[in-house]
Amino acid sequence: MTPDPLALEIADRGEHALARLAALRSLDPPTTGGRILSYVYDSGLEELDELATRAARLAHGVNGLDPTVFASVAEIHGGIVDRVRTILGGVTDAGAPGGDAAGGVVPGGAEVYGSVTSGGTESCILACLAAREVSGREPGSGGTIVAPVTAHAAFRKAAHLLGLRFVGVEVDPATGRVTAEELLAAVDERTVLVVCSAPAYPTGVIDPVAEVAAGLEARHDPRIGLHVDACLGGLVLPFWPSAEPTGPTEPGGSEAAALWALRVPRVTSISADLHKYGFAPKGSSVLLSRGRERHRAAWFATVDWPGYPVVNPTLAGSKPLEPAAAAWTVLEALGDDGQRELVARTARATDRLVEGLSTIEGLRVLDRDPGPLLAVAMDDTVDDGRRVHPHLWADACGRRGISVQAQPAHRQGRGTLSSSSHLTVTPVTERLVDDILLVAREAADEVRGQGAPTPPAAFGDVLAALDSGALSPGDLLALPEDDVHAMVSGVLSDAPDDGAGGGMAPLMAAIERLPADVGARLVRAYLAAVME
């Protein structure tokens, strides 16, 4: 058979493209090996990664838009929902109804249904959409989402997209904690959804879900939703080793999960990411909802056009099956025993890191609950000359090959939450604890006693004008986008060309000094300039 000339040409160009892709990827930090303590969730098992790759290849080309055409979509999504529902207490026992894709029964007879989404942000947006629809609120009619200020930014994004208003409840600046009474005090007739985190990403604190649920049940409209954002904690906290001698119980039935998961009857929805502690590739999450009405309220359906009937349970229409297929395969391969062992490794690594970081002069570990997240801030109880600024420390760690995530200070009326640096611990971290602590100590020694980082020079004039009153936040927000671009391009051009970049500390310093809306516009322009 004569070879197809087009196929030969495509193959040749494709090889060149793959070579370029390999070169580009070589510039990225490794996504496995445990040296990035944010963004990636490494099981440390190459075999698990290989299974996920094989599963994705088997699902290649399948359009997840229509399970009536591709039956595997319904089976895979249903299997994922069933597994996560069980972990989060959405079924009573092995004999309860709910072993299929339809719904699981929890105490009181309420059914739990679920959708597989592309990630935590989509799960959270859909929970907010369902809450708006159940409440009967029109977009822009004043409906509110009530959440601690530490709730993930996805809920602010949801409010922006859905015509709702985000009401941030301030937290204790020393502990990052909110009380149930503080949250409930912000709930009124406009509220469509209350959000709690399990845990909050910036601090690792678990919000008081059970107490909030009890208050909502006793004092407020039953249509007001209570969403638990367990995107990060949903597949790790139910398996977390107990501090009690008896050890952990079965997933979903653990004492810890009973305080925030589906065994709290007033919880109306919960989100959990598979591409975090489900150890699946990026692009998979689950939203579980109590009752058909709330579950289906997030769906979009129309027959009001000349084409095929459109029904979308998620924001996307056409979507790949690869991420879900990989996630389903990983969940099946791990089972409870595998999941529990990987979480145990994570817990051991977390304990050792907390112990080691707590001994570094000038730094302190922030208040947190059991789980794989921790944050460090400057210890202001020591002399100025011995203090370690967490953003300078993070940059110094990065120069030594360990990436931790800088978090700017957050201003609120009751006191500012400190500048901090965030660490996400995964199973593979256990192999690197000694290396990470060595880097942490060396980095602290390098920057100890240095003053707080200063904003980039390119922002100097703007900050000075704001401070003097010559320029108002409104003036900055009214600037043409090209002028804002020129400003942030100056920041990029000022970064040292040494292979390590200028670090994030100067940019964090600018964000901390700017009004939040101005800071948001500048960081948007900054990332856009990087992409452009």
pLDDT at 249: 43
Helix/strand/coil (H/E/C) assignment for every residue in 404-456: CEEECCECCCCCCECCEEEEECCHHHHHHHHHHHHHHHHHHHHHCCCCCCCCC
CA distances from 170 to 38, 167, 178, 412 (A): 25, 10, 7, 7
* Locus of tokens 């996400």: 424
Rounded to whole angstroms, the Cα distance separating 385 from 381 reads: 11
Beta strands 191-197; 225-229: pairing state: parallel
pLDDT in tens, 98-150: 333 445 445 444 699 999 999 999 999 999 999 999 999 999 899 999 999 99
Q: What is the Cα 307 distance to its own chain's centre?
A: 36
pLDDT at 501: 46
pLDDT in tens, 450-471: 999 999 888 888 899 899 999 8
pLDDT at 421: 98
Long-range contacts of 380-389 (CB under 8 A, 24+ apart): 384/449, 385/448, 385/449, 386/361, 386/362, 386/448, 386/449, 387/362, 387/448, 387/449, 388/360, 388/361, 388/362, 388/363, 388/444, 388/447, 388/448, 389/419, 389/447, 389/450, 389/451, 389/452, 389/453, 389/505
What is the pLDDT averaged over residues 404-414? 96
pLDDT at 202: 97
What is the pLDDT averaged over residues 74-93? 90
pLDDT at 458: 80
pLDDT at 460: 83
What is the pLDDT averaged over residues 520-530? 90
Confidence of residue 375 (pLDDT cuts 50, 70, 90): very high
Q: What's the full length of the chain, in residues?
A: 532
CA distances from 136 to 192, 223, 297 (A): 9, 9, 10
Task: Establish whether the linkage from the previous residue to 199 is cis, with ω within 30° of 0.
Answer: yes
Confidence of residue 95 (pLDDT cuts 50, 70, 90): very low
What is the pLDDT averaged over residues 377-381? 97
pLDDT at 117: 98
Percent of the chain with pLDDT over 90: 83
Amino acid at 212: V
Confidence of residue 254 (pLDDT cuts 50, 70, 90): low
Closest-CA residue to 281 (of 325, 316, 317): 325
pLDDT at 496: 56
pLDDT in tens, 304-350: 999 999 999 999 999 999 999 999 999 999 999 999 999 999 999 99
**Could you tell me if 203 and 150 are in contact, meaning their C-beta atoms sit under 8 angstroms apart?**
yes
Rounded to whole angstroms, the Cα distance separating 145 from 169 reads: 10
Would you state the structure tokens that stand for residue 270, as one six-digit string?
């919960």
**Could you tell me if 420 and 375 are in contact, meaning their C-beta atoms sit under 8 angstroms apart?**
yes
Rounded to whole angstroms, the Cα distance separating 101 from 192 reads: 27
Confidence of residue 291 (pLDDT cuts 50, 70, 90): very high
Q: Is the pLDDT of residue 200 over 90?
A: yes
Helices marked H in 271-320:
292-297
Q: What is the Cα 221 distance to its own chain's centre?
A: 29
pLDDT at 492: 73
Q: Which residues contact 390 (CB under 8 A, 6 or more apart)?
A: 363, 376, 377, 378, 406, 418, 419, 420, 421
Q: First CA to last CA across the chain, in angstroms?
A: 45
**Could you tell me if 41 and 326 are in contact, meaning their C-beta atoms sit under 8 angstroms apart?**
no
Tell me 170's DSSP state.
Answer: P
- The vertex-277 CA angle with 397 and 314, nearest 5°, equals 115
pLDDT at 105: 47
pLDDT in tens, 21-38: 999 999 999 999 999 999
Angle, helices 322-357/71-87, rounded to nearest 10 degrees: 30
Q: Is the pLDDT of residue 96 over 70?
A: no
Rounded to whole angstroms, the Cα distance separating 128 from 143 reads: 10
**Could you tell me if 383 and 366 are in contact, meaning their C-beta atoms sit under 8 angstroms apart?**
no
**Could you tell me if 297 and 133 are in contact, meaning their C-beta atoms sit under 8 angstroms apart?**
yes
Q: Which of 110-114, 299-303, 392-396 has the lowest mean pLDDT?
A: 110-114
Would you state the structure tokens that stand for residue 6, as one six-digit string?
């087009």
Q: Which residues contact 1 (CB under 8 A, 6 or more apart)?
A: none
Three-state DSSP state, 486: helix
